[in-house]
């Protein structure tokens, strides 16, 4: 483990940025935090988390897949991909780090999504422990420890210092680049910080939320649960929850005729939309209730059934804070089967 004074953090950022693009959470104009490319003057935000997750770096909201040029009956397929640059995402929270495991199982399973895979290969994730978890946080429900963030490098920030621990070869390589700006220290140096975070987590409102009532094999039990009518009744179908979610992976592929060829691109989609997966025969989920149920059944039943019990929620709390009608996965869990320990 290594450490340095927080006063030298900009020097750390500068050293990293010389060899790779560096992105850090920074305050936006409205006071929220977003990832920005670091340059002199961009400051590391003190916000708990960013509005949008770092999923964007590996699975962008919109990307061109290929282009087509036609001349008579001849069609030329143009691969528009360029070599992905090395990049570092700094300050990723433990919940968002866990989300990559969910996404990896989707995009890196055969057939591998080469666009996603290229970015995962080039990206380095530097996580940061959550010194002040929010009341909307419930990552521990899904077995995530905010005091022990994973990633290629884990960091802990105190009032005056920042500590670095490499977890992977990519992390070790990055720490080597900033070795001259840091010094070695014992891992026990962050024990008190970990204890403080654990104590805060034990006081949060959702600390007792559990997944005991959910998981694979629960389809018959929950699919026709009468509570779906009540829970979905106020849903606007706006899709906000899916767009801020770090684990949602639905997308659509479209072709756009430029008049000088065709661009094929993919963009995020949402299971909450009435035209999601709509084809010539129509849509297989015609009501908002069916679409609402699909979202939460996928998170809590379908995904874990097909992925060794791994849930596709990481308890980041974004949907709790951003839903305009305050409907979220916690309310669903409590209503249809989740238990709060006594």
Task: Give backbone dihedrals phi and psi of 22, rounded to 5 degrees, phi first.
Answer: -120, 130
One domain, residues 32 and 165:
yes
One domain, residues 220 and 190:
no
What was the pLDDT predicted at 141?
A: 95
Residue ending a domain, among 174, 204, 234, is: 204
One domain, residues 19 and 98:
yes
Q: In the chain, how many domains are there?
A: 2
- Per DSSP, helices labelled H in the chain are 9-17, 94-107, 114-122, 169-177, 191-201, 219-222, 227-232, 240-244, 288-297, 303-306, 318-322, 329-336
Q: What is the pLDDT of residues 252-296, one digit of tens each?
A: 999 999 888 899 999 999 988 887 777 666 667 778 899 999 999
CA proximity to 312, closest of 110, 101, 129:
101
Domain residues for 314? 208-342
One domain, residues 196 and 219:
no
What was the pLDDT predicted at 340?
A: 38
One domain, residues 12 and 25:
yes
Question: Which residue in this structure is represented by tokens 């949008």?
Answer: 52
121 falls within a domain = yes
Query: Global pTM?
Result: 0.91
Asked if 160 and 5 touch (Cβ cutoff 8 Å), the reply is yes
What was the pLDDT predicted at 82?
A: 75
One domain, residues 196 and 256:
no
> 218: Cβ–Cβ under 8 A, 6 or more apart, which residues?
300, 301, 305, 337
One domain, residues 320 and 265:
yes
What is the C-alpha separation between 117 and 65, in angstroms, rounded? 14
Residue ending a domain, among 185, 204, 223, is: 204
Task: Give backbone dihedrals phi and psi of 68, rounded to 5 degrees, phi first.
Answer: -125, 135
29 falls within a domain = yes
66 falls within a domain = no
One domain, residues 170 and 221:
no
CA proximity to 2, closest of 196, 197, 177:
177
Q: What is the pLDDT of residues 195-226, one digit of tens each?
A: 999 999 999 999 999 999 899 999 999 999 99
The ranges of the chain with pLDDT < 50 are 338-342
Strand-pair partners of 338: none
What was the pLDDT predicted at 280?
A: 66
- Helix, strand, or coil (residue 17): helix
64 falls within a domain = no
One domain, residues 160 and 39:
yes
One domain, residues 337 and 263:
yes
One domain, residues 2 and 136:
yes
91 falls within a domain = yes
One domain, residues 109 and 220:
no
318 falls within a domain = yes
268 falls within a domain = yes
What is the C-alpha separation between 193 and 131, in angstroms, rounded? 8
DSSP secondary structure of 30-92:
TS-EEEEE--TT-----SSS-SS-GGGGTS-SEEEEEEEEEETTEEEEE----PPPPEEEEEE
71 falls within a domain = no
């Amino acid at each position: 483990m290594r450490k340095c004074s927080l006063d030298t953090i900009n020097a750390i950022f500068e050293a990293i940025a010389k060899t790779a693009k560096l992105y850090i959470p920074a305050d936006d104009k409205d006071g929220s935090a977003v990832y920005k490319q670091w340059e002199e003057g961009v400051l590391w935000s003190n916000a708990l988390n960013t509005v949008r997750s770092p999923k964007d770096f590996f699975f962008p909201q919109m990307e061109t897949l290929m282009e087509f040029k036609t001349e008579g009956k001849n069609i030329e397929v143009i691969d528009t991909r360029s070599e992905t640059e090395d990049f570092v995402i700094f300050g990723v929270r433990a919940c968002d780090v866990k989300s990559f495991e969910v996404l990896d199982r989707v995009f890196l399973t055969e057939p591998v999504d080469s666009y996603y895979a290229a970015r995962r290969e080039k990206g380095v994730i530097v996580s940061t422990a959550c010194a002040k978890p929010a009341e909307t946080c419930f990552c521990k429900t899904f077995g995530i420890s905010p005091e022990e963030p994973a990633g290629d490098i884990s960091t802990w920030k105190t009032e005056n210092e920042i500590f670095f621990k490499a977890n992977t070869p990519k992390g070790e390589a990055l720490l080597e680049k900033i070795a001259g700006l840091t010094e070695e220290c014992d891992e026990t140096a962050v024990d008190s910080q970990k204890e403080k975070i654990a104590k805060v987590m034990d006081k949060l409102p959702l600390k007792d939320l559990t997944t005991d009532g959910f998981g694979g094999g629960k389809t018959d039990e929950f699919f026709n649960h009468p509570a779906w009518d009540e829970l979905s009744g106020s849903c606007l179908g706006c899709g906000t929850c899916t767009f801020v979610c770090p684990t949602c992976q639905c997308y659509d592929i479209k072709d756009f005729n430029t008049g000088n060829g065709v661009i094929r691109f993919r963009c995020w989609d949402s299971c909450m939309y009435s035209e999601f997966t709509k084809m010539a025969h129509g849509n297989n989920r015609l009501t908002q209730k069916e679409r609402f149920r699909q979202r939460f059944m996928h998170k809590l039943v379908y995904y874990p059934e097909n992925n060794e019990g791994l849930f596709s929620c990481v308890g980041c709390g974004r949907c709790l804070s951003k839903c305009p009608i305050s409907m979220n996965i916690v309310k669903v869990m409590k209503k249809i089967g989740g238990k709060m320990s006594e």
